[in-house]
């Protein structure tokens, strides 16, 4: 009887940490992966905008709100209905920039870059709401992994519209940067002339492990593996497979990598890993003093000049006037 009691006691004690891990996986899945307001990011010191960029942000938002966008839809491969904002260039062109926004945002947060492509480069712009964001359907965030397949659909849609003469640039920031980098490893049509990746992470696994330590002062094990299992069950992908680093190794498309020197949310070291792994034509811009997602705002002239320089040899009839 005593042995039986001792056995059940031992099993009960062992079940406590197991239950805690399972409970923690539900918590972190809802926190990081499920579609829900991400209030835990409010006040994060790594995401606070630089005090000098408010005027530029307000100006680009006002521009966005004054535009008459065409509302585009894409039926994703898993039947989700995705939404995008399309704005034709002022002068007819077959050049289109497809932009990718960051985690927990929506298409409108790309307003500054969208304005640059539309106003300064006279390009059509297509800015999708990522699955699980904005007007797009979806109950989870794919961190760029499932979104890479969605972007293949958006690319096909543009080519169907503009025909074989279509020239496409992909440009993403933060999670959007990871999205376009992950897309780069797919079998892209030659119409995709260049990709601009800004402050994306090397992999979902690496970024979440980094954030677990940075935000919660916890080791990756056991919560990241447990949440990974939950994500595989509920969202259909694992953190380890969602690797921008593995994808960029297969890229054949010219890529421009951009990162802020003061980025503590996605560490600047990650861009060097991505850049070194890329076998395609490439260039790198580190914006001194810029935090996460701030490079365009901190030094707009340097940023836009670099993008224009990179695109000049890859797009025909690209305007060469300096962006202001």
Pairing of strands 192-198, 167-173: parallel
Query: Residue 153, class by beta-carbon neighbours within 10 Å (0-12 exposed, 13-18 middle, 19+ buried)?
Result: middle
**pTM of structure:** 0.92
Q: Find out whether 323 and 305 touch, Cβ atoms under 8 Å.
A: yes
Beta strands in 70-185 (DSSP E): 70-75, 81-87, 95-100, 124-128, 167-173
* pLDDT single digits (tens) 77-93: 999 999 999 999 999 99
Region label for 293, one of left (φ > 0), alpha (ψ between -120 and 50) or beta (otherwise): left
Q: Find out whether 102 and 175 touch, Cβ atoms under 8 Å.
A: yes
* pLDDT single digits (tens) 219-232: 898 899 999 999 99
Alpha helices in 129-222 (DSSP H): 145-162, 175-184, 204-216
- Domain residue spans of the chain: 33-203+242-312
Distance of CA 249 to the CA centre of its chain: 18
Lowest mean pLDDT among 78-82, 157-161, 214-218, 298-302: 214-218
Fold of 33-203+242-312: Rossmann fold (3.40.50)
User: ∠ CA 111-138-182 to the nearest 5 degrees?
Assistant: 65
Beta bridge partners of 8: none
């Amino acid at each position: 009887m005593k042995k039986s009691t001792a056995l059940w006691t031992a099993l009960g004690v062992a079940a406590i940490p197991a239950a805690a891990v399972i409970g923690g996986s539900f918590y972190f899945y809802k926190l990081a992966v499920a579609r829900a307001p991400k209030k835990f990011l409010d006040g994060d010191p790594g995401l606070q905008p630089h005090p000098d960029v408010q005027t530029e942000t307000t100006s680009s938002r006002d521009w966005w709100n004054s535009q008459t966008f065409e509302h585009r839809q894409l039926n994703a491969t898993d039947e989700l209905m995705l939404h995008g904002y399309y704005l034709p260039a002022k002068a007819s062109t077959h050049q289109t920039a497809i932009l990718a926004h960051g985690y927990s945002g929506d298409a409108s947060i790309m307003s500054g870059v969208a304005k640059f492509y539309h106003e300064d480069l006279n390009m059509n712009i297509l800015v999708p709401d990522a699955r699980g964001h904005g007007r797009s359907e979806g109950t989870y965030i794919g961190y760029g992994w499932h979104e890479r397949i969605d972007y293949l659909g958006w690319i096909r849609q543009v080519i169907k519209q503009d025909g074989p003469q279509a020239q496409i640039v992909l440009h993403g920031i933060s999670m959007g940067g990871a999205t376009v980098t992950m897309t780069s490893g797919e079998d892209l049509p030659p119409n995709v002339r260049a990709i601009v990746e800004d402050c994306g992470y090397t992999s979902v696994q690496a970024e979440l492990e980094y954030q677990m330590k940075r935000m919660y002062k916890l080791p990756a094990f056991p919560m990241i593996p447990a949440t990974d299992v939950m994500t595989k069950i509920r969202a259909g992908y694992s953190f380890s497979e969602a690797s921008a680093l593995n994808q960029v190794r297969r890229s054949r498309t010219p890529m421009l990598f951009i990162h802020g020197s003061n980025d503590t949310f996605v560490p600047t070291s990650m861009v060097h890993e991505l850049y070194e792994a890329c076998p395609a034509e490439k260039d790198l811009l580190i914006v001194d003093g810029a935090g996460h997602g701030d490079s365009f705002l901190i030094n707009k002239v340097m940023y836009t000049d670099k993008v224009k320089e990179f695109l000049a040899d890859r797009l025909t009839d690209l305007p060469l006037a300096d962006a202001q």
